[in-house]
Amino acid sequence: MKISDFEVGKEYAVMTHRWDAPDGSGTTPGIPMRFTVLPAQEIGRAVAFDGEATYLASAMEVEARKGFLRVQHECGRVRLVHPETLASATLIGV
């Protein structure tokens, strides 16, 4: 999938691709999720976390995130998802 397949503010039901463990131990099935696509954060608003503290993200970090969707899951958690990890997406509602 591509970023252009998604619209900010819309909710989607998605399924991730299944993948084979690199050590040959087996295959992980795709995982179903629901999330709402959020707008990307810009320089001066985007934050990063280094494991101890939260700080404003650098311009390089913000640029690197442009290939990802910023999403909010049903539980409220916000994270980045790369669209190529998604096997399918269905718009929920209209």
Backbone dihedral angles phi then psi of residue 21, each to the nearest 5 degrees: -65, 135
Per-residue pLDDT reduced to its tens digit, 62-94? 988 999 999 999 999 999 999 999 999 999 976
- Residue 88 pLDDT: 96
Q: For residue 61, is it left (φ>0), alpha (ψ between -120 and 50) or beta? A: alpha
**Residue 94 has what pLDDT?**
63
The torsion angle over the Cα atoms of residues 36, 42, 47 and 50, rounded to 10 degrees, is: 100
Identify the DSSP state of 5.
Answer: G
pTM over 0.85: no
Give the model's confidence band at 41: pLDDT under 50 very low, under 70 low, under 90 confident, else very high. confident
Distance CA 62, CA 48 (A): 9
| Domain assignments of the chain as residue spans, ordered by start | 3-40+68-92
Radius of gyration of the chain (CA): 15
Q: How many percent of the chain have pLDDT more than 90?
A: 69
Q: Hey, is 66 helix, strand or coil?
A: helix
As given in the structure block, the two tokens for residue 16 are 């991730």
Written as six digits, the tokens of 10 are 């819309």
Taking residues 21-37, what's their average pLDDT? 93
